[in-house]
């Protein structure tokens, strides 16, 4: 069996990945807050962890991997949008308007991430469907002295968990000094974070032992991962921006609520997609959505390819040049892979690259070598492993179905005449006209091959006759 090695943020080392149960490898990834379209930065963890999911399925078997990615559908920005709709005079209740907003956002998310070739995780739990599990977990934490209730709020007592900060390598005192911790009268300590907060009549709320309220963000992931994956599971993923405080808080909650378990054993963090050196984010306003790119005519496979061209632990930029380059490369790969049947094994070099801490950049350079060697079988299977051929060769990359054999014969005879007369002007003129019509002219010792390219224009070709 292939040995997978992963860089574990928890130990800061590249480690051999050994699942708790090879018959059920379990992975949890923090999903989106569903208040608006996903931007390109949000797509990076989706594509990165989809690639890991595919690798795990390949190594352990498709039925032996459980992948959970949540939808955060309790959030102030969702509430604000629902309140805005209400203020515009919509007759529905606030709960209905919240539901409407999250439903439409989830549908967009699915459409956009499907376009990137990301498989849907086996479970996509919504926070609102697990409120009971969150309340039970919070009650347990209060019972064990790890949390306390004040005025309708419940807070996690950070100093009750000695290992707090171990994931990001900071001490509690460093965090207080450096972080924007919210000081509030109901907190014993400024580091303590919210597990539950009260909701007034204008906000969504659920009945709880502490009055009508709603959960904090961090408890969602702890409760949903416990319900769906148990108290110990293999991989927890998400963007590096979530390491502190979100993941520290998840660890504190889960390890205190279920001290018999290990919670997540391997923590993986993708680096940020950046714009001019800054993280792409809604709050900075320096973002564009996946849908913006798709609407501009950039195929989802091209976006996926660009995202995979940089290793997940390095920051990266999106540029138009990268997209153009990726499109040209994919066209070439698809052209070579098109003839191959679809039942070969991925190339060992590609497997080894992915198994080495998901080195997708190296995997792509292996694809170039396969293309160069004309190994269409391995290329096709390897592209499949990287998530490129679920729907076959995409329409945008298919060469137009035209018969250029007449032109090829004509070109070959002009060339043969020119060899004798040493006057190549007619050959050059025809070549230029073919290129202008979007035809690629490939000349080799074996003869001439004419291939209609991406900009193929049959009308211009007609003029040649």
CA distance 30 to 24: 20
Q: Which of 6, 27, 29, 30 touches Zn ion (CB under 5 A)?
A: 30
Q: Which of 10, 26, 27, 32 touches ligand AMP (CB under 6 A)?
A: 32
Answer yes or no whether residue 242 interacts with ligand AMP by CB under 6 A.
yes
Contact indicator for 179, 154 with CB cutoff of 8 Å:
no
| Dihedral (Cα; 292, 297, 303, 304), 10-degree rounding | 120
Tell me the window of 27-35, 205-213, 371-379, 410-418 that interacts with ligand AMP (CB under 6 A). 27-35
Q: How far is the CB of 106 from ligand AMP (least distance, A)?
A: 12
Answer yes or no whether residue 41 interacts with ligand AMP by CB under 6 A.
yes
Nearest of 165, 317, 323 to residue 244 by alpha carbon: 165
- The nearer residue to ligand AMP, 47 or 381, going by C-beta atoms, is 47
- The nearer residue to ligand AMP, 273 or 393, going by C-beta atoms, is 273
CA distance 444 to 23: 52
Q: Parallel, antiparallel, or unpaired: how do β-strands 147-150 and 153-156 relate?
A: antiparallel
CA distance 451 to 177: 64
In this structure, is the dihedral angle defined by the CA atoms of residues 340, 357, 300 and 107, taken in order, positive or negative?
A: positive
Partner whose binding site includes residue 45, from Zn ion, ligand AMP, none (CB under 5 to 8 Å by kind)? ligand AMP
Answer yes or no whether residue 74 interacts with Zn ion by CB under 5 A.
no
Please tell me the total number of residues recorded for the chain in this structure: 465
Tell me the window of 26-34, 129-137, 175-183, 417-425 that interacts with Zn ion (CB under 5 A). 26-34
CA distance 134 to 132: 5
Q: How far is the CB of 31 from ligand AMP (least distance, A)?
A: 7
Q: How far is the CB of 242 from ligand AMP (least distance, A)?
A: 5
CA distance 187 to 237: 30
Q: Which of 78, 154, 221, 255 touches Zn ion (CB under 5 A)?
A: 221
Tell me the window of 17-25, 125-133, 203-211, 214-222 that interacts with Zn ion (CB under 5 A). 214-222
Q: How far is the CB of 306 from Zn ion (least distance, A)?
A: 26
Residues 94-113 that bind ligand AMP (CB under 6 A): none
Tell me the window of 94-102, 218-226, 385-393, 456-464 that interacts with Zn ion (CB under 5 A). 218-226
Map 92-111 to HEC letters.
Answer: CCHHHHHHHHHHHHHHHHHH
Interaction pattern, residues 181-220, with ligand AMP; x per rule: CB under 6 A: ----------------------------------------
Helices (H) and strands (E) counted in the chain, each on its own, are 16, 15
Contact indicator for 323, 302 with CB cutoff of 8 Å:
yes
Q: How far is the CB of 316 from ligand AMP (least distance, A)?
A: 8
DSSP 399: P
Partner whose binding site includes residue 221, from Zn ion, ligand AMP, none (CB under 5 to 8 Å by kind)? Zn ion
Q: Which residue matches tokens 């009650």?
A: 139
Tell me the window of 77-85, 168-176, 276-284, 408-416 that interacts with ligand AMP (CB under 6 A). 276-284
Answer yes or no whether residue 44 interacts with ligand AMP by CB under 6 A.
yes
Q: Which residue matches tokens 């498709």?
A: 62
Residues 306-365 that bind ligand AMP (CB under 6 A): none
Answer yes or no whether residue 69 interacts with ligand AMP by CB under 6 A.
no
Answer yes or no whether residue 236 interacts with ligand AMP by CB under 6 A.
no
The angle at the Cα of 266, spanning 261 to 267, to the nearest 5 degrees, equals 110
Q: Which residue matches tokens 């007034």?
A: 200
Nearest of 316, 308, 321, 171 to residue 248 by alpha carbon: 171
Q: Which of 168, 281, 365, 369 touches ligand AMP (CB under 6 A)?
A: 281
Q: Which positions touch Zn ion (CB under 5 A)?
A: 30, 221
Q: Which positions touch ligand AMP (CB under 6 A)?
A: 30, 32-33, 41-42, 44-45, 238-239, 241-242, 270, 272-273, 279-281
């Amino acid at each position: 069996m292939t040995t997978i090695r992963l860089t574990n943020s928890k130990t800061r080392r590249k480690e051999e990945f050994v699942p708790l149960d090879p018959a059920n490898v379990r992975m949890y990834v923090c999903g989106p807050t569903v208040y608006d379209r996903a931007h390109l930065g949000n797509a990076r963890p989706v594509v990165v962890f989809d690639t890991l999911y595919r690798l795990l399925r390949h190594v352990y078997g498709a039925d032996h991997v459980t992948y959970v990615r949540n939808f955060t559908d309790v959030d102030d920005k969702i509430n604000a949008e629902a309140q805005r709709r209400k203020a515009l005079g919509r007759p529905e209740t606030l709960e209905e308007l919240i539901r409407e907003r999250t439903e439409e956002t989830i549908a967009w998310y699915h459409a956009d991430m499907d376009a990137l070739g990301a498989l849907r995780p086996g479970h996509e739990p919504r926070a609102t469907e697990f409120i009971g599990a969150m309340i039970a977990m919070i009650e347990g934490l209060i019972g064990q002295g790890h949390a306390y209730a004040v005025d309708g709020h419940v807070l996690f007592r950070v100093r009750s968990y000695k290992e707090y900060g171990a994931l990001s390598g900071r001490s509690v005192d460093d965090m207080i000094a450096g972080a924007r911790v919210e000081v509030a009268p109901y907190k014993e300590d400024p580091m303590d974070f919210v597990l539950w907060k009260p909701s007034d009549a204008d906000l969504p709320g659920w009945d709880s032992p502490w009055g009508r309220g709603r959960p904090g963000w961090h408890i969602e992931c702890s409760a949903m991962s416990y319900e769906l994956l148990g108290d110990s599971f293999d991989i927890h993923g998400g963007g590096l921006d979530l390491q502190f405080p979100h993941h520290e808080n998840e660890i504190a909650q889960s390890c205190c609520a279920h001290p018999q378990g290990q919670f997540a054993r391997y923590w993986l963090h993708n680096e940020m997609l950046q714009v001019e050196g800054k993280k792409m984010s809604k709050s900075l306003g320096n973002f564009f959505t996946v849908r913006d790119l798709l609407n501009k005519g950039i195929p989802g496979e091209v976006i996926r390819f660009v995202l995979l061209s940089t290793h997940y632990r390095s920051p990266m930029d999106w540029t138009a040049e990268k997209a153009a380059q990726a499109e040209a490369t994919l066209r070439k790969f698809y052209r070579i892979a098109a003839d191959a049947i679809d039942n070969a094994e991925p190339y060992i070099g590609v497997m080894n690259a992915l198994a080495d801490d998901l080195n997708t950049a190296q995997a792509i350079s292996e694809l170039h070598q396969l293309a160069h060697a004309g190994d269409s079988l391995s290329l096709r299977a390897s592209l499949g492993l990287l998530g490129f051929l679920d729907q076959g060769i995409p329409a945008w990359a298919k060469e137009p179905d035209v018969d250029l054999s007449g032109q090829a014969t004509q070109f070959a005879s002009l060339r043969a005449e020119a060899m004798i007369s040493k006057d190549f002007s007619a050959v050059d003129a025809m070549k230029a006209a073919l290129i202008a019509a979007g035809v690629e002219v490939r000349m080799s010792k074996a003869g001439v091959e004419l291939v209609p390219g991406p900009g193929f224009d049959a009308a211009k070709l007609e003029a040649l006759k």
